[in-house]
Chain A
């Protein structure tokens, strides 16, 4: 069962879709329900030991899990396919923006910022295609971004924050250092972000 669960998790995670406990029980564990935690535990250990992936519960109420990459992040061309790399590039820019703005930004502010990078929600982008869909659907589904409606706004406004996968996979310290490098300043220039990054 452990090996079946490991394979199940790897395949599901390939799409970066969070895995529900219910799916695990139905598709893999089936009649071994009583041994559920034992099986999940062992699968987690195997994923870490063999693949360097960590099984993390991101929603303890709804019991959803994701696999995060536990290997030390490194620059270079081997990280992922080109298409993935470009999407990650855009994601990191968005996450940096959100972090530097105090961890939450309004949708209008984000799209204004992306405007400056010639990324428009209405137009098809040469590399990213439908950017609005990528940001508001794909990144959200993959738990990289979290978009929540702001109450009492008319027309409805939304706030954008880091999603649970970003919180686990991406280092705020690295983000701050990258921004500092681009702006030619010391990371301590942004005191609140610095203390948050060092925490």
Chain B
């Protein structure tokens, strides 16, 4: 096995710059970008070598406590990539973009989402929180606007008036959430990553991502819990 010195080329740098400015990049977009960068900077391109390409970049990001991380969307099971800061002990990436008050609203919304049964917080509940902020009371109209910005910036995603964490947020803050919400945050029984939206076994309480449930129970007429073997009570997606 020949080990080649993994050098950064302009193609790698360009890829990294775009990933950083995108915030989050979907799998097929990342593959197109990989091709585009290699062609632009005249670097050898092989369509199935995206992982190696990213590893090269990651080996150079490691001493900076940064990493290109792959995460799976809880909605459609598709892979997404984001550049994360491994040394983050709090929501520092957001700190430069929002006021103290907005950050507090976000943290409290995150509490609601993680503590909830289904990984969603209703807009009514969040707006009620706005009233009780320690930094400064936020009016409902203002909070609605802030929520809109959080969605635009891909920290939250909204469905039918309810909010959950965007895939980008989950990829970037997984470590933070797992350490700060140790007792409450659920891990998927199948893939062992953080699960914000999940289906839960009524008997033994284990949780699984919806896409993971879909894959695991594919073709089974009588889905049973992988841990306690009881019938799986939720509708399999």
A79, closest chain B residue (CB): B18
Mask for B10-22, Cβ within 8 A of A = 1, else 0?
1001101110111
- In-complex Cβ contact of A71 among B14, B64, B65 (8 A): B14
List residues of A (18-68) whose CB comes within 8 Å of B's CBs. 46, 49-53
Interface residues on B, range: 20 to 34
Q: Whole-angstrom distance between the alpha carbons of A74 and B40 in the complex?
A: 8
Taking Cβ atoms with an 8 Å cutoff, the residues of B that contact A are: 8, 10, 13-14, 16-18, 20-22, 33, 36, 40-41, 57, 60-61, 63-66, 85, 87, 93, 96
What is the number of contacts between chain A and chain B, taking CB atoms within 8 Å? 55
Given pairs A7-B66, A12-B96, A52-B13, 7 additional interface contacts (CB within 8 A): A6-B64, A7-B85, A50-B16, A50-B61, A78-B33, A80-B21, A81-B22
Report Cα–Cα, A14/B96, bound state, in Å: 10
- Given A14-B96, A51-B17, the answer on whether A3 and B65 have CB atoms closer than 8 Å is yes
Query: In the bound complex, what is the Cα–Cα distance between A84 and B18 (angstroms)?
Result: 13
A49 pairs with B60, CB closer than 8 A: yes
With A52-B10, A71-B17, A81-B21 as given contacts, are A46 and B64 in contact (CB-CB < 8 Å)? Answer: yes
Chain B interface mostly: helix
Shortest Cβ distance from residue B188 to the other chain A in the assembled complex, whole angstroms:
30
Q: How many residues of A contact B (CB 8 A)?
A: 24
Enumerate the 3 nearest inter-chain pairs by beta-carbon distance, A residue then B residue, closest first: A52-B13, A3-B64, A50-B60
A-B contact pairs, 16 of them (CB 8 A): A3-B64, A3-B87, A6-B64, A7-B66, A10-B20, A14-B96, A50-B8, A50-B57, A51-B16, A51-B17, A74-B40, A76-B36, A78-B18, A78-B33, A79-B18, A81-B22
